[in-house]
Structure 1
Amino acid sequence: MTDEPTPVTAEPPESPIRLSGTDHVTIIGSNEADTVAFYRDLLGMPLVLRQPNLDQPEVTHLFFDTGDGRILTFFVSDDRESDPRPQRTGVGAVHHLAFSVDPERFVETGEALEEAGHPYNEFDRGAFHSLYTRDHNGLVLELATDKYHVPDDRRAEVLATAQRIRVEDGADYVDDEHVERALEELGLEADPYELPDAPTGAGYD
Protein backbone atom coordinates (compact mmCIF):
# COMPACT_ATOMS: atom_id res chain seq x y z
CA MET A 1 0.00 0.00 0.00
CA THR A 2 1.35 3.43 -0.94
CA ASP A 3 0.28 6.98 -0.20
CA GLU A 4 1.40 8.13 -3.65
CA PRO A 5 -1.53 9.24 -5.84
CA THR A 6 -2.26 7.31 -9.02
CA PRO A 7 -0.36 8.94 -11.90
CA VAL A 8 -2.46 10.95 -14.38
CA THR A 9 -1.34 10.53 -17.99
CA ALA A 10 -2.74 10.19 -21.49
CA GLU A 11 -0.40 7.25 -22.16
CA PRO A 12 -2.17 3.85 -22.23
CA PRO A 13 -1.26 1.70 -19.20
CA GLU A 14 0.53 -1.64 -19.35
CA SER A 15 -2.65 -3.69 -19.14
CA PRO A 16 -3.64 -7.10 -20.50
CA ILE A 17 -6.69 -5.62 -22.29
CA ARG A 18 -6.75 -2.61 -24.60
CA LEU A 19 -10.17 -1.10 -25.34
CA SER A 20 -10.90 0.85 -28.51
CA GLY A 21 -13.68 3.10 -27.19
CA THR A 22 -17.23 3.19 -25.82
CA ASP A 23 -19.71 1.00 -27.73
CA HIS A 24 -22.91 1.67 -25.79
CA VAL A 25 -24.40 2.26 -22.36
CA THR A 26 -27.71 0.62 -21.39
CA ILE A 27 -30.24 2.09 -18.97
CA ILE A 28 -33.27 0.42 -17.39
CA GLY A 29 -35.99 2.71 -18.74
CA SER A 30 -39.70 3.14 -18.14
CA ASN A 31 -41.94 3.09 -21.22
CA GLU A 32 -41.18 3.66 -24.89
CA ALA A 33 -43.35 6.76 -25.38
CA ASP A 34 -41.74 8.80 -22.58
CA THR A 35 -38.24 7.61 -23.47
CA VAL A 36 -38.64 8.57 -27.14
CA ALA A 37 -40.23 11.90 -26.19
CA PHE A 38 -37.23 12.87 -24.06
CA TYR A 39 -34.21 11.40 -25.84
CA ARG A 40 -35.37 11.69 -29.46
CA ASP A 41 -37.84 14.55 -29.51
CA LEU A 42 -36.13 16.83 -26.95
CA LEU A 43 -32.43 15.90 -27.03
CA GLY A 44 -32.42 15.05 -30.74
CA MET A 45 -31.01 11.51 -30.61
CA PRO A 46 -32.23 9.45 -33.59
CA LEU A 47 -33.88 6.13 -32.70
CA VAL A 48 -31.76 3.79 -34.83
CA LEU A 49 -32.86 0.33 -33.67
CA ARG A 50 -35.81 -1.23 -31.83
CA GLN A 51 -36.03 -4.92 -31.05
CA PRO A 52 -36.93 -7.32 -28.23
CA ASN A 53 -34.39 -7.57 -25.43
CA LEU A 54 -32.37 -10.68 -26.31
CA ASP A 55 -32.37 -11.77 -22.65
CA GLN A 56 -35.99 -10.82 -21.88
CA PRO A 57 -38.08 -10.78 -25.09
CA GLU A 58 -41.16 -9.23 -23.46
CA VAL A 59 -39.07 -6.08 -22.89
CA THR A 60 -38.23 -3.72 -25.77
CA HIS A 61 -34.65 -2.62 -26.44
CA LEU A 62 -34.31 0.92 -27.88
CA PHE A 63 -31.05 2.16 -29.44
CA PHE A 64 -30.37 5.91 -29.78
CA ASP A 65 -27.43 7.57 -31.56
CA THR A 66 -26.01 10.16 -29.14
CA GLY A 67 -24.64 12.26 -32.00
CA ASP A 68 -21.30 10.71 -32.92
CA GLY A 69 -22.28 7.10 -33.63
CA ARG A 70 -21.92 6.06 -30.00
CA ILE A 71 -25.08 4.48 -28.72
CA LEU A 72 -27.30 4.86 -25.66
CA THR A 73 -29.83 2.06 -25.18
CA PHE A 74 -32.86 1.51 -22.94
CA PHE A 75 -34.80 -1.53 -21.80
CA VAL A 76 -38.44 -0.34 -21.77
CA SER A 77 -41.92 -1.78 -21.24
CA ASP A 78 -45.28 -0.11 -21.73
CA ASP A 79 -46.45 -1.24 -18.28
CA ARG A 80 -43.80 0.89 -16.54
CA GLU A 81 -44.65 4.40 -15.38
CA SER A 82 -42.00 7.12 -15.55
CA ASP A 83 -40.83 8.49 -12.19
CA PRO A 84 -39.15 11.92 -12.28
CA ARG A 85 -38.13 11.88 -8.61
CA PRO A 86 -34.36 12.07 -8.01
CA GLN A 87 -32.67 8.70 -8.11
CA ARG A 88 -30.80 7.34 -5.12
CA THR A 89 -27.24 6.37 -5.94
CA GLY A 90 -24.75 4.17 -4.18
CA VAL A 91 -21.53 2.32 -4.89
CA GLY A 92 -21.74 0.79 -8.35
CA ALA A 93 -24.68 2.98 -9.43
CA VAL A 94 -24.62 5.53 -12.26
CA HIS A 95 -24.23 9.08 -10.91
CA HIS A 96 -24.94 10.88 -14.19
CA LEU A 97 -24.54 10.70 -17.96
CA ALA A 98 -22.80 13.51 -19.84
CA PHE A 99 -23.39 14.43 -23.48
CA SER A 100 -21.65 16.98 -25.68
CA VAL A 101 -23.34 20.12 -27.02
CA ASP A 102 -21.89 22.41 -29.68
CA PRO A 103 -20.86 25.75 -28.12
CA GLU A 104 -22.93 27.62 -30.71
CA ARG A 105 -26.08 25.81 -29.51
CA PHE A 106 -25.40 25.91 -25.77
CA VAL A 107 -27.70 28.84 -24.93
CA GLU A 108 -30.60 27.53 -27.03
CA THR A 109 -30.17 24.12 -25.38
CA GLY A 110 -30.94 25.65 -22.00
CA GLU A 111 -33.88 27.55 -23.45
CA ALA A 112 -35.30 24.33 -24.95
CA LEU A 113 -34.99 22.48 -21.63
CA GLU A 114 -36.81 25.28 -19.83
CA GLU A 115 -39.57 25.42 -22.45
CA ALA A 116 -40.04 21.65 -22.15
CA GLY A 117 -40.43 21.90 -18.38
CA HIS A 118 -37.04 20.45 -17.42
CA PRO A 119 -35.32 22.80 -14.95
CA TYR A 120 -31.55 22.93 -15.07
CA ASN A 121 -28.50 24.36 -13.31
CA GLU A 122 -25.66 25.93 -15.26
CA PHE A 123 -22.06 25.85 -14.06
CA ASP A 124 -18.61 26.82 -15.22
CA ARG A 125 -16.72 23.59 -14.54
CA GLY A 126 -13.24 24.91 -15.28
CA ALA A 127 -12.32 22.68 -18.22
CA PHE A 128 -15.83 22.94 -19.71
CA HIS A 129 -19.25 24.57 -19.28
CA SER A 130 -22.27 22.48 -18.29
CA LEU A 131 -26.03 22.33 -17.87
CA TYR A 132 -27.41 19.78 -15.39
CA THR A 133 -30.95 18.48 -15.64
CA ARG A 134 -32.92 15.25 -15.09
CA ASP A 135 -34.70 13.00 -17.54
CA HIS A 136 -38.26 11.67 -17.08
CA ASN A 137 -36.97 9.04 -14.63
CA GLY A 138 -34.85 11.27 -12.43
CA LEU A 139 -31.51 10.34 -14.03
CA VAL A 140 -29.10 13.29 -13.85
CA LEU A 141 -27.84 14.39 -17.26
CA GLU A 142 -24.99 16.78 -17.93
CA LEU A 143 -24.98 18.65 -21.23
CA ALA A 144 -21.42 19.88 -21.57
CA THR A 145 -19.61 22.08 -24.03
CA ASP A 146 -15.90 22.77 -24.40
CA LYS A 147 -14.64 26.24 -23.56
CA TYR A 148 -11.91 25.84 -26.20
CA HIS A 149 -11.78 23.78 -29.37
CA VAL A 150 -10.17 20.47 -28.40
CA PRO A 151 -9.68 17.88 -31.18
CA ASP A 152 -11.26 14.56 -30.19
CA ASP A 153 -8.05 12.65 -30.83
CA ARG A 154 -6.09 15.01 -28.52
CA ARG A 155 -8.65 15.30 -25.70
CA ALA A 156 -6.94 12.95 -23.25
CA GLU A 157 -3.58 14.59 -23.98
CA VAL A 158 -4.97 18.08 -23.36
CA LEU A 159 -6.66 17.09 -20.09
CA ALA A 160 -3.60 15.25 -18.78
CA THR A 161 -1.40 18.24 -19.62
CA ALA A 162 -3.85 20.63 -17.94
CA GLN A 163 -3.79 18.35 -14.89
CA ARG A 164 0.01 18.55 -14.71
CA ILE A 165 -0.09 22.34 -14.99
CA ARG A 166 -2.81 22.53 -12.32
CA VAL A 167 -0.70 20.49 -9.89
CA GLU A 168 2.38 22.59 -10.62
CA ASP A 169 0.33 25.73 -9.88
CA GLY A 170 -0.99 24.28 -6.62
CA ALA A 171 -4.59 24.79 -7.77
CA ASP A 172 -7.42 22.58 -6.52
CA TYR A 173 -9.20 22.33 -9.87
CA VAL A 174 -8.44 22.70 -13.56
CA ASP A 175 -9.45 26.16 -14.77
CA ASP A 176 -9.47 28.09 -18.05
CA GLU A 177 -5.84 29.13 -17.80
CA HIS A 178 -4.67 25.53 -17.28
CA VAL A 179 -6.53 24.37 -20.40
CA GLU A 180 -5.27 27.35 -22.39
CA ARG A 181 -1.68 26.74 -21.36
CA ALA A 182 -2.05 23.03 -22.13
CA LEU A 183 -3.31 23.78 -25.63
CA GLU A 184 -0.46 26.21 -26.26
CA GLU A 185 2.12 23.74 -24.94
CA LEU A 186 0.77 21.08 -27.30
CA GLY A 187 0.83 23.42 -30.29
CA LEU A 188 -2.95 23.79 -30.53
CA GLU A 189 -5.03 26.94 -30.96
CA ALA A 190 -6.32 28.37 -27.67
CA ASP A 191 -9.20 30.58 -28.82
CA PRO A 192 -12.08 30.49 -26.31
CA TYR A 193 -15.69 30.09 -27.38
CA GLU A 194 -18.18 32.78 -26.40
CA LEU A 195 -20.20 31.29 -23.55
CA PRO A 196 -22.39 32.91 -20.88
CA ASP A 197 -21.00 33.62 -17.45
CA ALA A 198 -21.99 31.01 -14.90
CA PRO A 199 -21.13 30.26 -11.27
CA THR A 200 -18.77 27.52 -10.24
CA GLY A 201 -20.00 25.04 -7.70
CA ALA A 202 -21.63 21.69 -7.08
CA GLY A 203 -23.61 19.93 -9.78
CA TYR A 204 -27.34 19.40 -10.11
CA ASP A 205 -29.05 17.72 -7.17
Structure 2
Amino acid sequence: MTHVPVQVQGIHHITLNGADRQTSVDFWEGVLGMPLIFEQPNLDAPEINHLYFDTGDGRTLTVFTEEGRQPPSQKLAQQPGSLHHIAFWVSQATIRLAEDRLKAQGYGSSGIKDRGFMDSLYFRDPMGLLVELASYKFDPPQGKTHGDVLNLAHKIRLERDGLAIETADVADALARLSER
Protein backbone atom coordinates (compact mmCIF):
# COMPACT_ATOMS: atom_id res chain seq x y z
CA MET A 1 0.00 0.00 0.00
CA THR A 2 1.35 3.42 -0.96
CA HIS A 3 1.53 5.99 1.79
CA VAL A 4 0.34 9.41 0.70
CA PRO A 5 1.33 12.33 2.92
CA VAL A 6 -1.20 14.75 4.32
CA GLN A 7 -0.27 17.83 2.27
CA VAL A 8 -0.05 21.07 4.24
CA GLN A 9 -0.21 24.48 2.56
CA GLY A 10 1.45 26.65 5.18
CA ILE A 11 1.09 27.62 8.80
CA HIS A 12 -2.52 28.41 9.66
CA HIS A 13 -1.86 29.72 13.18
CA ILE A 14 0.27 29.12 16.22
CA THR A 15 -1.25 29.11 19.71
CA LEU A 16 0.79 29.97 22.79
CA ASN A 17 -0.05 29.69 26.48
CA GLY A 18 0.08 33.19 27.94
CA ALA A 19 -0.46 34.63 31.38
CA ASP A 20 -3.10 37.33 31.88
CA ARG A 21 -4.77 39.15 28.98
CA GLN A 22 -3.00 42.49 29.41
CA THR A 23 0.51 40.96 29.42
CA SER A 24 -0.25 39.36 26.04
CA VAL A 25 -1.82 42.48 24.52
CA ASP A 26 1.04 44.67 25.78
CA PHE A 27 3.64 42.40 24.18
CA TRP A 28 2.15 41.10 20.93
CA GLU A 29 0.34 44.32 20.00
CA GLY A 30 2.37 46.92 21.91
CA VAL A 31 5.91 45.63 21.32
CA LEU A 32 5.58 43.67 18.05
CA GLY A 33 2.78 45.66 16.44
CA MET A 34 0.43 42.72 15.85
CA PRO A 35 -3.13 44.06 16.13
CA LEU A 36 -5.52 42.18 18.40
CA ILE A 37 -8.22 41.31 15.84
CA PHE A 38 -10.64 39.46 18.11
CA GLU A 39 -11.00 37.40 21.25
CA GLN A 40 -13.41 34.79 22.49
CA PRO A 41 -13.49 31.94 25.00
CA ASN A 42 -11.40 28.87 24.25
CA LEU A 43 -14.15 26.65 22.86
CA ASP A 44 -12.58 23.56 24.47
CA ALA A 45 -12.17 25.22 27.89
CA PRO A 46 -14.48 28.27 28.17
CA GLU A 47 -12.83 29.53 31.37
CA ILE A 48 -9.73 30.34 29.27
CA ASN A 49 -9.65 33.43 27.03
CA HIS A 50 -8.43 33.10 23.41
CA LEU A 51 -6.77 36.17 21.85
CA TYR A 52 -6.17 36.39 18.07
CA PHE A 53 -3.38 38.64 16.74
CA ASP A 54 -2.68 39.43 13.06
CA THR A 55 0.97 38.58 12.29
CA GLY A 56 1.04 40.91 9.29
CA ASP A 57 0.45 38.45 6.47
CA GLY A 58 -3.17 37.56 7.20
CA ARG A 59 -2.23 34.64 9.43
CA THR A 60 -2.80 34.66 13.15
CA LEU A 61 -0.91 34.03 16.33
CA THR A 62 -3.26 33.13 19.16
CA VAL A 63 -2.72 33.19 22.90
CA PHE A 64 -4.64 31.45 25.66
CA THR A 65 -4.91 33.66 28.75
CA GLU A 66 -6.37 33.48 32.25
CA GLU A 67 -6.44 36.39 34.64
CA GLY A 68 -4.90 34.35 37.49
CA ARG A 69 -1.81 33.40 35.47
CA GLN A 70 1.47 35.26 35.95
CA PRO A 71 4.56 35.25 33.72
CA PRO A 72 7.07 32.60 34.86
CA SER A 73 10.07 33.70 36.91
CA GLN A 74 12.49 31.24 35.32
CA LYS A 75 13.65 30.39 31.81
CA LEU A 76 11.55 27.88 29.87
CA ALA A 77 12.95 24.36 29.74
CA GLN A 78 14.40 23.24 26.40
CA GLN A 79 13.38 19.62 26.38
CA PRO A 80 12.66 17.31 23.43
CA GLY A 81 9.25 18.05 21.97
CA SER A 82 9.14 21.61 23.26
CA LEU A 83 9.13 24.76 21.15
CA HIS A 84 12.63 26.23 20.83
CA HIS A 85 11.65 29.60 19.34
CA ILE A 86 9.22 31.35 17.06
CA ALA A 87 10.46 33.52 14.18
CA PHE A 88 8.72 36.46 12.54
CA TRP A 89 9.60 37.88 9.13
CA VAL A 90 10.61 41.53 9.17
CA SER A 91 12.14 43.88 6.60
CA GLN A 92 15.82 44.79 6.55
CA ALA A 93 14.84 48.32 7.62
CA THR A 94 12.93 46.98 10.63
CA ILE A 95 15.63 44.58 11.82
CA ARG A 96 18.20 47.39 11.68
CA LEU A 97 16.11 49.40 14.18
CA ALA A 98 14.77 46.52 16.28
CA GLU A 99 17.54 46.29 18.88
CA ASP A 100 17.17 49.95 19.91
CA ARG A 101 13.38 49.85 19.79
CA LEU A 102 13.24 46.71 21.93
CA LYS A 103 15.73 48.19 24.40
CA ALA A 104 13.56 51.32 24.72
CA GLN A 105 10.69 49.05 25.82
CA GLY A 106 12.81 47.12 28.33
CA TYR A 107 13.75 44.09 26.20
CA GLY A 108 17.34 42.98 25.76
CA SER A 109 18.36 41.16 22.59
CA SER A 110 21.13 39.21 20.96
CA GLY A 111 21.89 41.97 18.47
CA ILE A 112 21.77 41.18 14.77
CA LYS A 113 23.33 37.84 13.81
CA ASP A 114 24.41 37.30 10.19
CA ARG A 115 23.14 33.90 9.02
CA GLY A 116 24.49 34.20 5.46
CA PHE A 117 21.12 34.23 3.72
CA MET A 118 19.30 36.17 6.44
CA ASP A 119 19.80 38.30 9.52
CA SER A 120 18.38 37.27 12.90
CA LEU A 121 17.78 39.04 16.19
CA TYR A 122 16.65 37.12 19.30
CA PHE A 123 14.92 38.18 22.51
CA ARG A 124 12.46 36.73 25.03
CA ASP A 125 8.76 37.48 25.43
CA PRO A 126 7.27 37.99 28.93
CA MET A 127 6.64 34.21 29.22
CA GLY A 128 10.30 33.43 28.49
CA LEU A 129 9.67 32.24 24.92
CA LEU A 130 12.58 32.89 22.59
CA VAL A 131 11.40 35.13 19.74
CA GLU A 132 13.38 35.71 16.56
CA LEU A 133 13.03 38.56 14.12
CA ALA A 134 14.27 37.25 10.78
CA SER A 135 14.97 39.14 7.58
CA TYR A 136 16.04 37.64 4.26
CA LYS A 137 18.98 39.45 2.69
CA PHE A 138 17.58 38.93 -0.82
CA ASP A 139 14.46 39.11 -2.92
CA PRO A 140 13.84 36.13 -5.22
CA PRO A 141 13.72 36.65 -8.98
CA GLN A 142 10.26 37.16 -10.49
CA GLY A 143 8.34 33.88 -10.56
CA LYS A 144 10.61 32.25 -7.94
CA THR A 145 10.23 31.90 -4.18
CA HIS A 146 12.62 32.29 -1.26
CA GLY A 147 12.51 28.48 -1.04
CA ASP A 148 13.65 28.16 -4.67
CA VAL A 149 16.64 30.42 -3.99
CA LEU A 150 17.55 28.66 -0.74
CA ASN A 151 17.27 25.21 -2.30
CA LEU A 152 19.72 26.16 -5.06
CA ALA A 153 22.00 28.03 -2.61
CA HIS A 154 22.11 24.85 -0.53
CA LYS A 155 23.18 22.81 -3.59
CA ILE A 156 25.90 25.37 -4.33
CA ARG A 157 27.04 25.16 -0.70
CA LEU A 158 27.29 21.37 -0.97
CA GLU A 159 29.30 21.68 -4.22
CA ARG A 160 31.88 23.84 -2.44
CA ASP A 161 31.69 21.60 0.69
CA GLY A 162 30.67 24.55 2.88
CA LEU A 163 29.40 24.33 6.44
CA ALA A 164 26.42 26.64 5.87
CA ILE A 165 24.86 28.80 3.18
CA GLU A 166 26.88 31.99 2.73
CA THR A 167 26.02 35.26 1.02
CA ALA A 168 28.01 34.25 -2.09
CA ASP A 169 25.93 31.05 -2.39
CA VAL A 170 22.75 33.14 -2.41
CA ALA A 171 24.20 35.57 -4.96
CA ASP A 172 25.20 32.68 -7.23
CA ALA A 173 21.76 31.07 -6.84
CA LEU A 174 20.08 34.37 -7.72
CA ALA A 175 22.28 34.68 -10.82
CA ARG A 176 21.49 31.13 -11.98
CA LEU A 177 17.76 31.53 -11.34
CA SER A 178 17.75 34.84 -13.21
CA GLU A 179 19.36 33.47 -16.37
CA ARG A 180 17.11 33.83 -19.37
TM-score normalised by L of structure 2 = 0.92
Deviations 1:95-117 (A, max 9, x none): 00000111122222221101111
CA RMSD in angstroms, aligned pairs only: 1.7
Q: Deviations 1:121-167 (Å, cap 9, x if unpaired)? A: 12111110011000001000000111112379611111111110000
Q: Which residue of 2 aligns with 1:117?
A: 106
Deviation at 1:84, TM superposition (A): 5.4
Rate the CA distance shift 1:66–1:22 in 2: closer, same or farther, 3 A: same
Q: Aligned equivalents of 1:111 and 1:153: distance in 2?
A: 34
- Once residues 84 and 175 of structure 1 are traced to their aligned partners in structure 2, the CA distance between those partners, rounded to angstroms, is 38
Contiguous gaps of at least 5 residues in structure 2? none
**How many aligned positions are there?**
175
Aligned residues of 2:21 and 2:66 also touching (Cα < 8 A): yes
Q: Which residue of 2 aligns with 1:131?
A: 121
Secondary structure, aligned partner of 1:74: strand
The correspondence for 2:69, drawn from 80, 84, 99, is 80
Distance 1:71 1:34 in 2: 18
CA distance in 2, matches of 1:72, 1:55: 18
Gaps of 5+ in 1: 1-13, 189-205
- 1:178 equivalent to 2:155? Answer no
% same residue: 37
Measured in 1, the distance between the counterparts of 2:4 and 2:107 equals 42
What aligned pairs does 1:162-173 form with structure 2 within 5 A after superposition?
A: 162-173=153-164
Poorly superposed stretches of 4+, deviation over 6 Å:
none
Q: CA deviation at 1:72?
A: 0.6
